[in-house]
Amino acid sequence: MTTPPGAPLAYRPELNGVRAIAVWLVVVQHWAAPPIMMGEMGRLVFFVLSGYLISGIVWKQQVYPGAPGPWRRRLGTFYLRRLLRIIPPYYCALALSALLPLTTVREYPLWFLLPAANQLFYHLQRWGEGCGHLWTLAVDEQFYLLWPALLAVVGRRVRWLVLIGACGLLFRVGWSLLVTPGFVLLLLPASLDLFAAGTLLRLLENSAALKQWARGRYVLLAWGGWWTLWAWLHPVQGGNIWLVLFPAVGAVAAFLTLAWLLRNPAAARRSSLLHPALVWMGQRSFGVYLYHLLLPVFWQRAVYTLWPAGSEWRTILLGPLPTLLVLTPLLIGLSAASWHFIEGPLDRMKRHLRYD
């Protein structure tokens, strides 16, 4: 594969706005448990965005096997930069999880240190208290390991990338029918259509063909179809059909959403995605995600300690609204501290790790 480097990956503050909204959709879903599906929308957008950003780096910096020049050194730099961005703050969250303590982290520490939480939860066929969200970080790490080699094989061939995306849907169908539908989404191949959608966006974002589809009305139609599919299929067969199909529809919706924002800067301004508060929060979204399930465990234990059994205050304080009111400022403070003391300094250090 001898494709030239891609166009420079310019800083796009609106993507931080997208991150902020996506991560808080997940937080509200986990804290308040609304009767409608919200959190999965955030996860879908995050995975498609990962495909877009990582593919851009791989192509621009030529960090795939067989690239011209010292590709092994560049690939090593790519992995080292990813490790610096993710692993130190992740390990800090693990340390707090062990101190809390969270039983699953204490019982299976190696799975979380690798990280391979997705494989652990699939093996157990259950979530761990306060750490169930870590499966997505494990999938992301496994995606970083796989994608440079995969792009070295498929290059910039649209049909091949579409085929990879189709493999994600086929894997979910086949695994559900032949093995088990339980926790199938936790396996890396089940998210291939999401990562492939982001890669296609990076490849086609400046094409004339995409321009006609990067419109707000198509974004609304796509998410409307996703919601309709959820309302229709979620009650059927325990939601198994929904689990198989919704990532593919969500990949299209997230693809169109990001394409609309990237192609139409005015849309980002009208949507308030460039508001300083959203940009600030999006920059700290990793910390928000890392700690958001630890805090409800801490809050529940504090309430059970301070109020005796049978107390009406237990029920009141553990309700959705008090949980949101109490834990939101705590989570913002934790994520801000993570950025100030860990992520920010590491980000500055990462700039010294050059690909050239």
Separation CA 337–CA 331 (nearest Å): 10
Contact between 133 and 115 under an 8 Å Cβ cutoff? The reply is no
Instruction: Encode pLDDT of 56-114 as tens digits.
Output: 999 999 999 999 999 999 999 999 999 999 999 999 999 999 999 999 999 999 999 99
For the cut 50, the answer to whether the pLDDT of residue 6 exceeds it is no
Model confidence at 265, in pLDDT bands (50, 70, 90)?
confident
Phi, psi of 179 (to 5 degrees): -115, -85
Q: What is the pLDDT of residue 2?
A: 39
Instruction: Encode pLDDT of 192-224 as tens digits.
Output: 999 999 999 999 999 988 988 999 999 999 999
Q: What is the pLDDT of residue 5?
A: 39
Tokens of 138: 């494990």
Model confidence at 267, in pLDDT bands (50, 70, 90)?
confident
Give me the count of residues in the chain: 356
Tokens of 277: 């508060």
Contact between 47 and 56 under an 8 Å Cβ cutoff? The reply is no
Give the DSSP letter string of 175-237: HHHHT-STTGGGSGGGGHHHHHHHHHHHHHTT-HHHHTT--HHHHHHHHHHHHHHHHHHTTGG
For the cut 80, the answer to whether the pLDDT of residue 118 exceeds it is yes
Tokens of 232: 């229709």
How large is the average pLDDT for residues 237-250?
90
- C-alpha 319: how far from chain center: 27
**CA-based nearest residue to 188, from 138, 150, 120:** 138
Q: What is the pLDDT of residue 105?
A: 95
Contact between 20 and 51 under an 8 Å Cβ cutoff? The reply is no
- Asked whether the CA dihedral 185, 186, 187, 191 is positive or negative, the reply is positive
Tokens of 31: 């804290």
- Asked whether the CA dihedral 246, 201, 28, 330 is positive or negative, the reply is positive
Instruction: Encode pLDDT of 278-313 as tens digits.
Output: 999 999 999 999 999 999 999 999 999 999 888 899
C-alpha gyration radius of the chain: 21
With tokens 């492939």, the residue in question is 196
Q: What is the pLDDT of residue 37?
A: 86
pLDDT > 90 fraction of the chain, expressed in percent and rounded: 83
Name the average pLDDT for the chain: 93
- What lies within 8 Å, CB to CB, of 27 at 6+ separation is 288, 292, 331
Supply the DSSP symbol for 167: H
Q: What is the pLDDT of residue 36?
A: 84
Separation CA 169–CA 245 (nearest Å): 7
Instruction: Encode pLDDT of 316-339 as tens digits.
Output: 999 999 999 999 999 999 999 999
- C-alpha 80: how far from chain center: 20
End-to-end alpha carbon distance in the chain: 19
Q: What is the pTM of this model?
A: 0.95
Q: What is the pLDDT of residue 64?
A: 95
Could you count the other beta carbons within 10 Å of the beta carbon of residue 126? 13
- What lies within 8 Å, CB to CB, of 28 at 6+ separation is 34, 38, 39, 324
